[in-house]
C-alpha cells in the first residue's frame, strides 16, 4: 500500500487507462449516490462532469461533517491521480505538467485523457535505479547543497506572491487554482529544485516545502496582500496540496529524466485563474433556527425591532475577525422601510419586504459591509475576498404563539458563497452564520423576557 502511494516508478498506458478514469469517476459516483439517497434530482450537465463535488454543496442542509468527509475524499482522489499521472509521465518521458492539473477538478478529465493517449514510451537511460536513489537519499545529509536549497525556498516563496497577485488581485478568482494548485506547484518547485543535485531525506524535503510556503505567506502579510486570519483558515488545505506537490517534485528530481519538465505547468496557471474568474461558484446556504421564548408575540416583536445593541459578546467569530452584528435600526415601518444593520465591519442597507406585527418580519439586503476584518500589521489589506465572495440575500423572522403564552421565533436566512473549493469553505461559513444567528436569537429572547417581567404589575 505504501509503495502505491509513492511517486517513484513508472506506469504504462493500459494500467493507467484502467485505474485513473475509475478513480476520477468515483467522484461522480459519490455525488450520484448522495443525490439518490436524498431524493433530489441530479442534472448531468457540463458542470456535473467538470466540477462534480461542487454539486454536493447544493444539497439542502448538507451536514458539516458530510462536507468535510467529501472534501477529504476529493484530496485522496487528487493524491491518487497525481501519483498515477506522474508515473505515467515518467514512463512516456513527457506530460509531467499534466500531473499537476489532475488535482484541479475542471481540468481533471482533459489531463487524464491526454495522459491515456500518450505513447507508451520507454525507460530513460539516465534514470536513477531505485537502489541508487536510496543510496542518494542516505547520503543526502552529508552532501547538503545549500545553494539549491536556497533556490528552492526563494522560488516557492515567489510563486506564492505572484499567484496571489495574478489570481486574487488581477482576476479576482478565489478557487482551486489559488488554494490548491498554487501550493501544489510550490511543493513541486521547491522539492524539485532542492533535490535535483542531492537527494534529501523525505522528511527534510517536506520541511523545506512547508518552509517555502511559510515564507510566501509571511511575504503576503508584509506586502499587505492578505491578513493573518485568512492565512490561518486556508493553511490546512494549502499544506495538504503542498505535500502532494512535494512528493511529485522530489520524485521528478530523483528520476533524473524529467529535467525541468514538471515545472512547465507553471506557464498554464494563469489560464486556470482566468477560467475560475469566468465561472465562479455561487453556492446557496440556507440556514433555519428556532427558539422558544417565554414572552407573548407583542413583546418578542418589540424586542425584534428594537434598535438597542446586542448585549452578549461575539465570541470566537469576533476573535477571528469575521463580521458580527451589533444592532439593527429601522428608519420607518411597514413594507419598503429601510433597515440599517450595523456590523463590526460596517453597515448593511436593508429593505423590509414583509411586515406583519407580531407575526412576520423580513428584509432584503441591498448592500453589505465586508465579511471580515483582516488581522494585519498594516491599516489596510489589499484582499478582495473580504467583499463580494460571501453575501446575505434575505433574512426572515416568523413569530408563532404558543399555548403556554410564549412565542416560537424562527429565523430563516439565505446566503451565497462564491469561494472554491466550496466543500472546504461551506462548513466554515455555515458555522459562522450559525454563531451569529444564535447570538441574535438569544438577544431577542433576553430582551423580550426582560420586557415581560418589567411590565408585570
Residues 164 and 96 in one domain: yes
Residues 262 and 375 in one domain: no
Neighbouring residues of 372: CB distance < 8 A, sequence distance ≥ 6: 227, 229, 230, 320, 321, 322, 323, 345, 386
In Å, how far are 62, 99, 135 from 132, measured between CA atoms?
50, 25, 5
Residue where a domain terminates, one of 278, 308, 337: 278
Residue where a domain terminates, one of 245, 278, 311: 278
Residues 219 and 72 in one domain: yes
Residues 357 and 424 in one domain: yes
Residues 267 and 290 in one domain: no
What pLDDT, on a 0 to 100 scale, did the predictor assign at position 225?
74
Residue where a domain terminates, one of 249, 278, 307: 278
Residues 157 and 174 in one domain: yes
Residues 242 and 186 in one domain: yes
Cβ atoms of residues 168 and 387 within 8 Å? no
The residue segments making up the domain with residue 314 are 283-454
What pLDDT, on a 0 to 100 scale, did the predictor assign at position 122?
44
Residues 199 and 234 in one domain: yes
Give 291's strand partners.
409
Number of domains within the chain: 2
Give 290's strand partners.
410
Residues 219 and 356 in one domain: no
Residues 145 and 26 in one domain: yes
Residues 268 and 293 in one domain: no
Q: What is the rounded CA–CA span in Å between residue 221 and residue 275?
A: 27
Nine-digit cell string for 192: 524539485
Question: Mean pLDDT, consecutive 10-residue segments, the chain of 457 residues?
Answer: 62 89 93 90 89 86 80 86 85 72 83 82 44 46 60 80 79 83 88 84 89 87 78 89 87 65 65 78 89 94 92 87 90 92 92 95 92 72 73 94 94 92 88 93 92 56
How far is Cα of residue 378 from the mean position of the Cα atoms in its chain?
Answer: 25
What pLDDT, on a 0 to 100 scale, did the predictor assign at position 256?
60
Q: What is the rounded CA–CA span in Å between residue 319 and residue 390?
A: 19
H helix intervals, 93-128: 96-101, 105-117
Residues 249 and 123 in one domain: yes
What pLDDT, on a 0 to 100 scale, did the predictor assign at position 143?
47
Nine-digit cell string for 364: 432584503
Amino acid at each position: 500500500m505504501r509503495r502505491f502511494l509513492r511517486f517513484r516508478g513508472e506506469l504504462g498506458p493500459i494500467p493507467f487507462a484502467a485505474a485513473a478514469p475509475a478513480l476520477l469517476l468515483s467522484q461522480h459516483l459519490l455525488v450520484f449516490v448522495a443525490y439518490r439517497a436524498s431524493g433530489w434530482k441530479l442534472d448531468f450537465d457540463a458542470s456535473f462532469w467538470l466540477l462534480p463535488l461542487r454539486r454536493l454543496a447544493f444539497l439542502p442542509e448538507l451536514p458539516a461533517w458530510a462536507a468535510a468527509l467529501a472534501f477529504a475524499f476529493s484530496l485522496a482522489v487528487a493524491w491518487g491521480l497525481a501519483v498515477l499521472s506522474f508515473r505515467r509521465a515518467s514512463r512516456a518521458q513527457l506530460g509531467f505538467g499534466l500531473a499537476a492539473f489532475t488535482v484541479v477538478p475542471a481540468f481533471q478529465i482533459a489531463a487524464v485523457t491526454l495522459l491515456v493517449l500518450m505513447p507508451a514510451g520507454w525507460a530513460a537511460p539516465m534514470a536513477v535505479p531505485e537502489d541508487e536513489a536510496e543510496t542518494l537519499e542516505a547520503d543526502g545529509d552529508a552532501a547538503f547543497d545549500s545553494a539549491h536549497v536556497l533556490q528552492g525556498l526563494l522560488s516557492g516563496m515567489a510563486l506564492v506572491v505572484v499567484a496571489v497577485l495574478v489570481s486574487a488581485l488581477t482576476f479576482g478568482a478565489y478557487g482551486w487554482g489559488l488554494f490548491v494548485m498554487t501550493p501544489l506547484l510550490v511543493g513541486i518547485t521547491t522539492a524539485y529544485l532542492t533535490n535535483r543535485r542531492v537527494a534529501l531525506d523525505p522528511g527534510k524535503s517536506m520541511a523545506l516545502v512547508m518552509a517555502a510556503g511559510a515564507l510566501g505567506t509571511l511575504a503576503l502579510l508584509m506586502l499587505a496582500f492578505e491578513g493573518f486570519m485568512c492565512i490561518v483558515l486556508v493553511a490546512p488545505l494549502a499544506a495538504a496540496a503542498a505535500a502532494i506537490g512535494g512528493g511529485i517534485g522530489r520524485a521528478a528530481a530523483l528520476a533524473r529524466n524529467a529535467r525541468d519538465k514538471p515545472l512547465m505547468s507553471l506557464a498554464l496557471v494563469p489560464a486556470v485563474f482566468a477560467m475560475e474568474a469566468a465561472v465562479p461558484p455561487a453556492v446557496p446556504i440556507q440556514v433555519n433556527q428556532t427558539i422558544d421564548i417565554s414572552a407573548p408575540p407583542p413583546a418578542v416583536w418589540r424586542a425584534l425591532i428594537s434598535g438597542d445593541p446586542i448585549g452578549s459578546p461575539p465570541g470566537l467569530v469576533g476573535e477571528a475577525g469575521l463580521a458580527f452584528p451589533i444592532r439593527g435600526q429601522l428608519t420607518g415601518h411597514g413594507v419598503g422601510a429601510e433597515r440599517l444593520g450595523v456590523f463590526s465591519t460596517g453597515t448593511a442597507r436593508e429593505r423590509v419586504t414583509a411586515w406583519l406585527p407580531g407575526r412576520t418580519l423580513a428584509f432584503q439586503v441591498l448592500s453589505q459591509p465586508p465579511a471580515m476584518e483582516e488581522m494585519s500589521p498594516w491599516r489596510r489589506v489589499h484582499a478582495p475576498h473580504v467583499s463580494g465572495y460571501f453575501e446575505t440575500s434575505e433574512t426572515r423572522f416568523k413569530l408563532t404563539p404558543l399555548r403556554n403564552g410564549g412565542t416560537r421565533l424562527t429565523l430563516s436566512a439565505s446566503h451565497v458563497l462564491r469561494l472554491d473549493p466550496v466543500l472546504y469553505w461551506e462548513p466554515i461559513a455555515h458555522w459562522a452564520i450559525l454563531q451569529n444567528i444564535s447570538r441574535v436569537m438569544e438577544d431577542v429572547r433576553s430582551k423580550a423576557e426582560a420586557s415581560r417581567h418589567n411590565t408585570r404589575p
